Amino acid sequence: MLLLIGLFFGLLIVGAPVAFAIGISGFSFFIISQVMPASIGVQQVASASQSFPLLAVPFFVLAGHMMNKTGITTRLIRCSEVLVSWMSGGMAQVCIVLSTLMGGVSGSAVADAAMEARILGPDLVRNGYSKGFTAATIAVGSLITATIPPSLGLILYGFVGNVSIGRLFLAGVIPGLMMMAGLMFTVWVVSRKRGYRSATVTRPSWSAVGSAVWDAKWALFFPVALLVSIRSGMFTPSEVGAFAVVYAIVVGVLFHRELTWQGAMEALLHGVIDNGLIVLIIMFSGMVGYAIIFDQAPQAIAQGMLGLTQSPTAILFLIVVFLLIAGCFIEATVLVLLLTPIFLPIVLQLGVDPVHFGIVMMTMVTFGGMTPPVGVAMFTVCGLLDCSIDEYLVEALPHIATILILVAILIFFPQISLFLPNLLM
């Protein structure tokens, strides 16, 4: 197991693609193993792709790209501006609200951060917001998409851990809204202190709010339709991914009339590229996951942690600290696929609900993408806004503190995550 870990990090250090780092290190374990043939590793790669729940991933990725071509994004931006641009730091508040609304469309924190950095970032800088504050608000705000359905990370966690994806989707709603409220409050405090003014002088009228919400109704209705269709048994989580693609096409062609043939082909191309990368990582991770379980790594780690404390809350905090550190170096998708087989048996042994743990875990592994030294969302936003990492980190400290406080609240009060799943399912 030490060889597997060492080879994996060694390949990452020399710049190997993540998928190949996982595949080479995993296959090396089977080659040098004296107990089982290398063909077992090949079988695990193949079997990882033979999963019906896994179909949800490529469908939701494609749906997100399709929706970006249908005018949904521009309508959500307009809706967010009407709702919160009158507040202190109004333009930055728009970024937070848009991340919440986009979570139900893209399902990807990096995609959301990149879109906002391109569209909203330059306007914030031109209106007097510092580059660091702008980049921090956009990057950390995109964390909300880790919990708002349909989160791709929650789908992968449910797939690997055999946890109900429908319950995970419901469990992410309240924590996602709490993140939105917490980050909006942080932006408000910083903006009041620095004199960042609101984008509009007066509050919007009820008619203006109603008009903006009505204009964005098909985008706002989408996450609601997902949850209702899963809860009612109309679709499985995999089938609802296909429904999302059809929904995006229908809205783009019949209602918004903005989805062209060229736009659809571009969305399909981007979807194929993204899915190729994600599925390759998933397939190779199946081999590594089998090696981890075979080597009894979860049992060894569980014994080590339980030797320190028997408190479920303390164990969760230890795992959160580990995920926070690991997330600084490794992409969220990889962490979910590699660490779920290790940590889920530990928390189950302690009586922690796997749905509650999934929300905490996804928040932390995605949060690593917003922090140095190799945060993907951080580098994406800073690169697009030409912002230095030092300036970003200083400005991001209030946002980071807010998220860590919210995670602590979720750990101490699991009922927050479990309220909707227990109520509706």
DSSP string, 27-67: HHHHHH-SSS-THHHHHHHHHHT--SGGGHHHHHHHHHHHH
How much is the average pLDDT of 75-96? 85
140-184 tens-digit pLDDT:
998 888 888 878 788 889 888 889 888 998 999 999 999 999 999
Q: Is the bond preceding residue 150 a cis peptide, omega within 30 degrees?
A: yes
Contact by Cβ (8 Å): 146, 153: yes
- If one counts the domains in the chain, the total is 1
* pLDDT digit string, tens, across residues 36-72: 777 787 787 777 677 666 777 788 778 877 877 887 8
Mean pLDDT, the chain, whole residue set: 83
Q: Which is more confident, 235 or 316?
A: 316
The residue segments making up the domain with residue 145 are: 2-424
One-letter amino acid identity for 167? R
Element housing 296 (H / E): none
- Mean pLDDT of the 343-370 span: 90
Rounded to an integer, the average pLDDT of 83-111 is: 79
